[in-house]
């Protein structure tokens, strides 16, 4: 969906540019990046599996992207590659529209300990959120998330987190459980969650995961992964063009595309 939302935004703002998807293999990353700059690209997004490797390739790196240890956006400025991470800040912008309490006081549970979880944890910590727990299938990965992190948090197994779920004000799923082929599964059982808990799933396909359906049945507030997706894209767009895209239009394009599926 990224080409759709970026190209629609270029058109709406009268910017003569085009966003396209290019496949670059792991072995040819450096050569692929050189080709992009030679061809005059103003910037690019970086996706799995290149986000971590890109840290070694750029000339300069934004401090938050350095802390996260992964880059999803590169700007080409005067021949130099500048690396950013908009996944974490994009998530936070979406969260700020959704979470109506004081985020600095929130007791937050993050499920999953992969790349997206790392971006979210580092961004929350950088913005003063201090009560963080990570629950993951592989507990070592949850503990590792707090290595080199200025704020230490708690690492739990999924079962341990389920047993004390009533403690948390905000629950964020960052695992792919809820997407195909695990569409009907739950990343965590919500039996012990408080009624007004905020439950956020960063999955956007499907728009409403099983976790969000169960959370609604329990009287929780819910948000899907569309705001994160749209905000991370909008922030990349701003780095490349210095212009703000129409967020509502971007959201409409994404929702329309996903409802057609």
Residue of 51, 67, 93, 214 marked active site: 51
Tell me if 126 contacts ligand NAP by CB under 6 A. Answer: no
* 33 or 186: CB nearest ligand NAP: 186
- Name the closest residue to ligand NAP (Cβ): 114
Helix (H) or strand (E) holding 133: strand 131-135
**Residue 182 makes contact with ligand NAP by CB under 6 A:** yes
Q: Is the peptide bond before 49 cis (omega within 30 degrees of 0)?
A: yes
Verify whether residue 244 is a known catalytic residue: no
- Is 179 near ligand NAP (CB under 6 A)? yes
112 near ligand NAP, rule: CB under 6 A: yes
# residues contacting ligand NAP (CB under 6 A):
24
The residue among 142, 140, 139, 121 whose CA lies nearest residue 130 is 121
The whole-angstrom distance between residue 77's C-alpha and the CA centroid of its chain comes to 25
Interface residue with ligand NAP among 106, 116, 222, 234 (CB under 6 A) is 116
Distance of CA 223 to CAs 49, 105, 203, Å? 27, 20, 10
DSSP string over 234-246 = HHHHHHHHS----
Neighbours of 182 (CB within 10 A): 14
117 binds ligand NAP (CB under 6 A): yes
Under rule CB under 6 A, which residues in 35-94 are in contact with ligand NAP?
A: 87
Q: What is the DSSP letter of 70?
A: -
When asked if residue 174 is in the footprint of ligand NAP (CB under 6 A), the reply is: yes
Nearest to 50 by CA among 17, 34, 27: 27
**Can residue 209 be called a binding residue for ligand NAP (CB under 6 A)?**
no
Question: Can you say how many angstroms the Cα of residue 252 is from the centroid of all Cα atoms in its chain?
Answer: 19
Q: Which of 42, 137, 194, 249 binds ligand NAP (CB under 6 A)?
A: 137
Binding of ligand NAP by 201 (CB under 6 A): no
Contact residues toward ligand NAP (CB under 6 A) are 87, 112-117, 136-138, 141, 174-177, 179, 182, 202-204, 225, 228-229, 232
Enzyme catalytic residues: 51
């Amino acid at each position: 969906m990224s080409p759709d939302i970026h190209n629609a935004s270029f058109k709406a703002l009268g910017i003569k540019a085009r966003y396209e998807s290019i496949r670059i293999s792991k072995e040819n990353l450096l050569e692929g990046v050189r080709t992009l700059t030679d061809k005059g690209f103003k910037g690019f997004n970086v996706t799995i599996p290149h986000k971590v490797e890109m840290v070694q390739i750029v000339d300069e790196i934004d401090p938050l992207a350095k802390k996260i240890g992964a880059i999803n956006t590169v700007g080409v400025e005067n021949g130099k590659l500048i690396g950013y991470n908009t996944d974490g800040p994009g998530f936070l912008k979406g969260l700020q529209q959704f979470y109506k309490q004081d985020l600095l006081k929130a007791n937050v549970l993050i499920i999953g300990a992969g790349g997206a979880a790392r971006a979210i944890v580092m961004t929350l910590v950088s913005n003063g959120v201090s009560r963080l727990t990570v629950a993951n299938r592989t507990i070592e990965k949850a503990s590792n998330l707090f290595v080199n992190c200025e704020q230490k948090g708690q690492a739990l197994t999924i079962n341990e987190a389920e047993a004390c779920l009533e403690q948390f004000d905000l629950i964020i799923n960052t695992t792919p459980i809820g997407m195909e082929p695990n569409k009907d599964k739950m990343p965590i059982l919500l039996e012990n969650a408080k009624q007004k808990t905020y439950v956020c799933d960063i999955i956007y396909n499907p728009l409403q995961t099983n976790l969000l359906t169960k959370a609604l049945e329990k009287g929780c507030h819910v948000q899907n992964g569309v705001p994160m997706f749209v905000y991370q894209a909008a922030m990349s767009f701003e780095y490349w063009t210095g212009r703000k895209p129409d967020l509502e239009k971007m959201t409409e394009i994404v929702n329309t595309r996903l409802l057609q599926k």
